Chains A and B, each alone.
Chain A
Amino acid sequence: MELRGKKVIALGERDGVPGPAVAECARRAGAEVVLTLTACYV
């Protein structure tokens, strides 16, 4: 997936991959992260 130049909303999950980790990956792939959120389902 080509992320360069794309805007990304990074949604993560506490017991999986948290939002900041998703955001960091997207950023390193050249995306602009516009929102980072992590959910907790318990």
Chain B
Amino acid sequence: MPVIRAVSLVLAHAPSFVRLGSKPLRELRKVEQPIEYLRPYLRDGEAACAYAPNQVFIGNVGVDDLAAWPAPWHRHPVEGARRFGPDGEIMPEDEFLGLLAACDGFDLLALDRDVAGPARAALDAHPVVGAASGRPPVPDGVAAGVLQERIERHGATPLLGVDGRLLGAVLPGHEEDDTLTGQVLLENLACKATAALALRHLLARPGAVAAEAVRYVISCGEEAVGDRYQRGGGNLAKAVAEWAGCPRATGSDVKAFCCGPMHSLMLAGALVQSGLYDDVVVLAGGSLAKLGMKFQGHVKHAMPIVEDVLAGFAAHVTRDDGASPVLRLDAVGRHEVASGSAPLAVVKALYSEPLARAGLTLLDVDRFSLELHNPEATEPAGSGNVPLNNYRTLASLAVMEKLIERAGIDAFVRTRGLPGFSPTQGHIASAVPYLGHALRGLTEGHLTRTMFTGKGSLFLGRMTQLSDGVSLILERNPRR
């Protein structure tokens, strides 16, 4: 069986990009002074770093610690919060701007001179994407007049800071191509940059796979890289592998809405199991379009817009090393075409059926990881506590299968569930953020078995009414 040997989880604080998220972009057109309107609700880098869910994301705070953390979380910062954690980092925006520019191989994103200089200096000193990493340099900045000209005469998308200052601009990749506008390219670049950051973190782990040994990369982000003839044509995977210095890698993108990461981990496991590749990396960058998705709820409740971070992850899937947690390819849960959409049928297909195939029940799983959206992001907008609702559905299945009493639902949710701690970054919030905690728990800790479930809203693309789902069991290596 293949194993997941290492994982990295990163955040990039991007308050200036919130205005460019899909929802803010549409809603702020109705506001007279959008910069001033949004500004009081945007956090500084220190607040974003000290935000307890973000600290859980990078592994500095435990999931059970967060469950006991005083609410609201945005008013109870983590004291002495650190930017780096065992799983990754929370990159400040000034560095992220440099990273974005360094990821642009076509000189379409230009930063203002006063922005590019400090961004380059900060990024060059970075421990995993610094100047010594061999990555492309942060280009020189340009004069403010040049940026203005690009915006006014060439249709560039302006990048404004939280205070309205012009930080940079992104030129379209083609004059008549709606898939290569500055906005679309910025979304794709943001995805590439956060995925590349995650991959560099993964490769910098002690005992990590050598960059030269990575032979296949699967990207499962939500961007649509392409042109007018091939919208969403893809292969961001290869672009990220190139940038991160994996010369012998090739790769491809897997698309399945938020279920992409689970499909990708399954496929990576199958590639390893088949013997085709020994070392496969699954990764994804963040979704700029989803920044500030629920911002109206946050503004309404006079709280900070907590959807101000882009997320990324990378996972190394390889042959059994006798120590790393095992990916049980014999017990993959799948939502098939005929599985239907009734909630009970869906949870049976994703949980009971694969567990039964492995001779297990729900009670043999220590922790379930599913939709891990931070409720502090969704509840103010009326979208409820997504993880809690899903855990209660799962606990109801345990009742129906006579594994627990109805009175045991709360205890099931508390002990086998997780608090939502992921930014609402779609595919990444879908189970993946617990991977770092799970790997530690299944190697150094007391966990025996975990189960990861992703769900995808295929119906949003208007090609089918179906949703999607895949579940994977990750368990302690029997030789450990």
Q: Give residues of chain A (1-42) contacting chain B, Cβ–Cβ below 8 Å.
A: 12, 14-21, 24, 36-38, 40-42
B465 interface residue (CB < 8 Å to A): yes
- Interchain CB contact (< 8 A) of A21 among B342, B371, B390, B457: B342
Verify B341–A21 contact, CB threshold 8 A.
yes
Complex: A18 Cα to B343 Cα, angstroms: 8
Of B342, B373, B424, B429, most A-chain CB atoms within 10 Å: B342
CB neighbours of A16 from chain B (8 A): 343, 389
Q: Does B386 contact A (CB under 8 A)?
A: yes
The CA-CA distance from A40 to B259 in the complex, in Å, is: 13
Chain A residue nearest to B382 in the complex (CB): A41
Assess whether B378 is interfacial by the CB under 8 Å rule.
yes
B22 on interface, CB distance cutoff 8 Å: no
Residues of chain A lying within 8 A (CB to CB) of residue B457: 14, 38, 40
A20 touching B429 by the CB < 8 A rule? no
Docked complex: B446-480 residues within 8 A CB-CB of A: 455, 457, 459-460, 465-467
Q: A20-B341, A21-B341 are in contact. Are A42 and B465 (CB under 8 A)?
A: no
Which residues on A sit within 8 Å (CB–CB) of B342?
17, 21, 24
- Contact yes or no, B390 A15, CB < 8 A: yes
Q: How far is B342's CA from A38's CA once the two chains are assembled, in angstroms?
A: 13
A42 to B381, CA, bound (A): 11
Q: A19-B465, A36-B465 are in contact. Are A42 and B426 (CB under 8 A)?
A: yes
Which residues of A are found within 8 Å of B384, using beta-carbon distances?
A: 15, 41
Quick check: A42 and B459 within 8 Å, CB to CB?
no
Would you call A14 and B467 a contact (CB within 8 A)? yes
For B466, give the chain A residue with the smallest CB separation.
A20
Closest Cβ of chain B to A31, distance in Å, is: 17
Asked whether A15 lies within 8 Å of B386 as measured between CB atoms, the reply is yes
- Check A42/B371 contact, CB under 8 A, given A14-B457, A19-B465, A20-B465: yes
Q: With A and B bound together, what is the CA distance between A20 and B293 in angstroms?
A: 26
Task: List residues of chain A with CB within 8 A of the CB of B424.
Answer: 42
B383 CB–A CB distance under 8 Å: yes
Nearest Cβ on chain A to B5's Cβ, whole angstroms: 30
Q: Which of A19, A36, A38, A42 contacts B383 (CB 8 A)?
A: A42
With beta carbons under 8 angstroms apart, the residue of B340, B341, B373, B466 that contacts A42 is B373
In the bound complex, how far is the Cα of B90 from the Cα of A25, in angstroms? 47
**B370 to chain A: closest residue by CB:** A15
Specify which of A17, A19, A21, A24 is in contact with B459 (CB 8 Å cutoff).
A19
Taking a contact as CB atoms closer than 8 A, the residue among B371, B460, B465, B466 that contacts A15 in the complex is B371
Cβ of A35 to closest chain B Cβ, rounded Å = 11
Q: State whether A40 and B371 are in contact (beta carbons under 8 Å apart), knowing that A14-B467, A15-B386 are contacts in the complex.
A: no
Q: List 13 A-B contacts (CB under 8 A).
A: A14-B467, A15-B386, A16-B389, A17-B342, A18-B465, A36-B465, A38-B467, A41-B378, A41-B383, A42-B371, A42-B378, A42-B383, A42-B386
Give me the 10 closest cross-chain CB pairs, A-B, nearest first: A40-B457, A41-B383, A18-B341, A20-B341, A21-B341, A38-B459, A21-B342, A42-B373, A20-B465, A14-B457
